[in-house]
């Protein structure tokens, strides 16, 4: 209890401002579209100076959490996932070997999402996943376009789960995931055997969703991840072995 009180005492003015909005949004006291109390009243309520309050709120506006309407006031805004994605990408990109770690998080999200998609996907969802499967097949020789189609195929599965939490988390990693798909395509697209196996794996994943069989869908997706990792590993070995032979000849 003492530690909590000391923590609150150490809380800076800017922390109090951020906590005020966070706590009230979480409790439902403030919702998207609600008007924030006037600056003078809010400064007195939070016991902070108006210049500090103004700067913190300006930052929250830039992040998309608040919306200032000239002559009307400040309102709670609906946060833009792109801002979260930029922030997430910036933070994770500073870590070494982060793509492999992101891939593990991706697998956890997708395996739950595909089970939900088997229950919740509507005709539009299935049509979208099928469309990206077709684009994926049409762009097998183009690592950039093919990588994007691969990413969109998987993103469409997550969207078909109709889970706000899963789609938000997946969206936050979107830029890193798409980069990973493209990089992996670069190492595999010249090998017809690998390409065909990956196409078949994507098709089986899609068909399991259409069949609305969550256990099979989960199993197919995990097999797809395992096969993809093994094939990419083999492709890298062949690529570097060929490079080494070229250098020695």
- Per-residue DSSP letters for 106-134? HHHHHHHHHHHHHHH--HHHHHHHHHHHH
Distance of CA 77 to the CA centre of its chain: 20
Instruction: State yes or no: pLDDT of 236 exceeds 60.
Output: no
- Sequence spans of domains, the chain: 13-76, 82-245
Per the CB < 8 A criterion, the answer to whether 179 and 227 are in contact is no
Domain spanning 82-245: which superfamily? GntR ligand-binding domain-like (1.20.120.530)
Distance separating alpha carbons of residues 49 and 43, to the nearest angstrom:
6
Per the CB < 8 A criterion, the answer to whether 181 and 148 are in contact is yes
HEC profile of 34-69: CECCCHHHHHHHHCCCHHHHHHHHHHHHHCCCEEEE
**Of 85, 83, 106, 96, nearest in space to 180 by CA:** 106
Per the CB < 8 A criterion, the answer to whether 210 and 194 are in contact is no
Q: Which two tokens stand for residue 125?
A: 């969802």
Helix (H, G, I), strand (E, B) or coil at 179: helix
Distance separating alpha carbons of residues 200 and 223, to the nearest angstrom:
11
| Count of Cβ atoms closer than 10 Å to residue 32 Cβ | 11
Q: Which two tokens stand for residue 180?
A: 């990973």
Window from 2-11, 56-65, 136-145, 224-233 with minimum mean pLDDT: 2-11
Per the CB < 8 A criterion, the answer to whether 65 and 79 are in contact is yes
So what's the pLDDT on residue 115?
A: 98
Radius of gyration for the alpha carbons in the chain, expressed in angstroms and rounded: 24
What are the CA-CA distances from residue 170 to residues 27, 84, 148, 176, 178 (Å)?
25, 11, 15, 10, 11
So what's the pLDDT on residue 230?
A: 67
Mean pLDDT, rounded, for 95-123: 87
Q: Which two tokens stand for residue 157?
A: 């599965």
Task: Give the pTM.
Answer: 0.71
* Interval 221-230: pLDDT, tens: 998 888 766 6
Q: Which CATH number fits domain 13-76: 1.10.10.10, 3.10.110.10, 3.40.50.150, 1.10.287.3510?
A: 1.10.10.10
Residue 248, class by beta-carbon neighbours within 10 Å (0-12 exposed, 13-18 middle, 19+ buried)? exposed
So what's the pLDDT on residue 204?
A: 95
Task: Please give the share of the chain, as a percent, with pLDDT higher than 90.
Answer: 49
Work out the mean pLDDT of the chain and round it to a whole number: 83
């Amino acid at each position: 209890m003492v530690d909590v009180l000391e923590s609150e005492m150490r809380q800076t003015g800017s922390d109090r401002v951020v906590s005020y909005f966070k706590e009230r949004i979480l409790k439902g006291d403030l919702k998207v579209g609600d008007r924030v109390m006037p600056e003078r009243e809010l400064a007195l309520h939070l016991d902070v100076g108006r210049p500090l309050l103004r700067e913190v709120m300006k930052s929250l506006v830039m992040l998309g959490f608040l919306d200032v309407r000239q002559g009307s006031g400040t309102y709670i805004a609906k946060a833009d996932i792109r801002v979260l994605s930029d922030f997430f990408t910036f933070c994770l990109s500073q870590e070494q070997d982060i793509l492999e770690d992101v891939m593990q998080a991706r697998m956890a999200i997708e395996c739950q999402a595909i089970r939900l998609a088997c229950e919740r996907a509507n005709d539009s969802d299935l049509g979208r996943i099928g469309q990206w499967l077709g684009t994926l097949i049409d762009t097998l020789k183009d690592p950039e376009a093919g990588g994007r189609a691969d990413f969109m195929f998987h993103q469409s599965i997550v969207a078909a789960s109709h889970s706000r939490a899963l789609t938000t988390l997946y969206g936050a990693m979107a830029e890193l995931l798409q980069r990973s798909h493209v990089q992996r395509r670069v190492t595999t697209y010249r090998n017809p055997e690998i390409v065909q196996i990956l196409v078949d794996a994507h098709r089986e994943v899609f068909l399991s969703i259409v069949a609305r069989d969550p256990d099979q869908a989960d199993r197919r997706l995990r097999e797809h991840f395992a096969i993809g990792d093994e094939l990419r590993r083999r492709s890298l070995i062949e690529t570097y072995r060929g490079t080494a032979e070229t250098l020695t000849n």
